[in-house]
Amino acid sequence: MELLDKLNWRYATKAMNGKTVDQDKIDRILEAARLAPTSSGLQPFEIIVITNNDIKGQIKPVAWDQSVITDSSHLLVFAAWDTYTAERINQVFDMTNSVRGYENEGFENYRQMLLNTYPQKDAEENFIHASKQAYIAFGLAVAAAAYEGVDATPMEGFDPDAVDKILGLREKGLRSAVLLPLGYRDEDNDWLANQVKVRKPKEQLVTVLD
């Protein structure tokens, strides 16, 4: 199947059958998220992978009681940095220098520019920026799941403060941004399983300026 066939195959699964997804598929989905481009390469988020049924059970009631939370195989929580700090920015730039094995003046100037910009900003503004980066990785994970033949439910229908509390995210300088239950569709019990995919026509979405 081509990628587009797989994107047509996927849908926001409303019922999953509880079957376990092989770890190698999960690893490739997470790798796609890790490879996501992010603003200044900061990757300002972490992904929490939950297979623990007790924790899933605690999250379900604060996620609109959506059954896929507990019927999924793996529940991914994309958690963004609560703000940008000098330490966090420096860590990424130091890692880049270490991996590439050299320092570059232009890159160091860019580091200084970020250090003079982000940490001084309002934490909420920084979190919103960081969570946008998390969504890029989330989007790639959605596509990668489809590519692997794994069903997924992109999910904003949850109480982020409650999820942060359950997972102790605030203490780690993180805030939940978006969830992604992964598993396999339960076709018999999912009203959406065989519905035609609905998207705006290309003409309404794309403007070509020649």
| CA 125 vs CA 86, 118, 134, 136: distances in Å | 16, 9, 14, 17
Assess contact for 175 and 164: CB atoms under 8 A.
yes
Q: Which two tokens stand for residue 47?
A: 């992904």
11 part of the interface to ligand FMN, by CB under 6 A: yes
Q: Interaction with ligand FMN in 62-101: which residues (CB under 6 A)?
A: 66
141 part of the interface to ligand FMN, by CB under 6 A: no
Return d(Cα 39, Cα 163) in angstroms, integer: 26
Which range touches ligand FMN (CB under 6 A), out of 17-25, 126-134, 151-159, 165-173? 151-159
Least Cβ distance, residue 9 to ligand FMN (angstroms): 10
Q: Exposed, middle or buried: residue 62 (CB in 10 Å: 0-12, 13-18, 19+)? A: middle
- Of the residues 42, 141, 178, 180, which one makes contact with ligand FMN according to CB under 6 A: 178
Q: Interaction with ligand FMN in 14-43: which residues (CB under 6 A)?
A: 14
133 part of the interface to ligand FMN, by CB under 6 A: no
- Tell how strand 74-81 and strand 151-152 pair up: unpaired
- Of the residues 19, 34, 121, 197, which one makes contact with ligand FMN according to CB under 6 A: 197
Least Cβ distance, residue 20 to ligand FMN (angstroms): 21
Assess contact for 209 and 110: CB atoms under 8 A.
no
Applying CB under 6 A, the residues found at the interface with ligand FMN are 11-12, 14, 66, 153-157, 178, 197
